[in-house]
Amino acid sequence: MWNALRVHPGSTVAVFGAGTVGLSAVMAAEAAGAAQIIALDVHTERLALAAELGATDSVDVSSADSVHEILSLTSGEGVDYSVECTGRPEVMANAVEALAALGTAAILGVAGLDADVRANAFELLKGRTVIGSVMGHQAPGALVPRILDLYRRGRFPLERLVRTYPLADINAAVSDSRAGKTIKAVLTHLH
């Protein structure tokens, strides 16, 4: 949000996938001053958390067409920036299609090594850009202190994403993660 996309106050942003990365993107967009942040996911619990963390709109994509909904929410314009966090090639294409002219999509989801990202050539003629990003396009020595500063000021509540499980409950952690009940499962092993 801050470095690769350079989201600025007044921007419109769509975040595809409200897992750990997507919810972090929502918080970063909110911290950057985005005017509209649209979270998209299939889990209503995650969408509710996204709203608490700064999303202005949410779309349950299990029952809605993501591009159509984004265009409806932006008066047909599309968003300035989109972030794809699912790793699904069809969602990657939607992240590009949902952009306004001159918009930029960041593909962050990890797809299989043989996954193709496809975009309609006409959509790219509108000046759209597609990028990848690793570690927020910034050295950890600079990025981590920035996040910690926001965290200390209550503007990046990372603890809202984490749920701990004893190692013996690893199956419950996996099940809860797959069901969308847990965002970031952390296993603990105490001696």
Helix, strand or coil for residue 122? helix
The model's pTM is 0.89
Helix, strand or coil for residue 40? strand
pLDDT digits (tens, 9 = 90+) for 76-126: 999 999 999 998 889 999 999 999 999 999 998 776 666 677 777 777 778
Residue 138 pLDDT more than 70? no
The full DSSP string for 154-185 is: TSS-GGGGEEEEEGGGHHHHHHHHHHTS-SEE
Crossing angle (nearest 10°) for helices 20-32 and 44-53? 30
Angle at 58 between CA 111 and CA 48, to 5 degrees: 95
Confidence of residue 191 (pLDDT cuts 50, 70, 90): low
Residue 65 confidence (pLDDT) = 95
pLDDT digits (tens, 9 = 90+) for 59-68: 999 999 999 9
Q: 102: which 2 tokens?
A: 């001159």
135 CB-contact burial (10 Å; exposed 0-12 / middle 13-18 / buried 19+): exposed
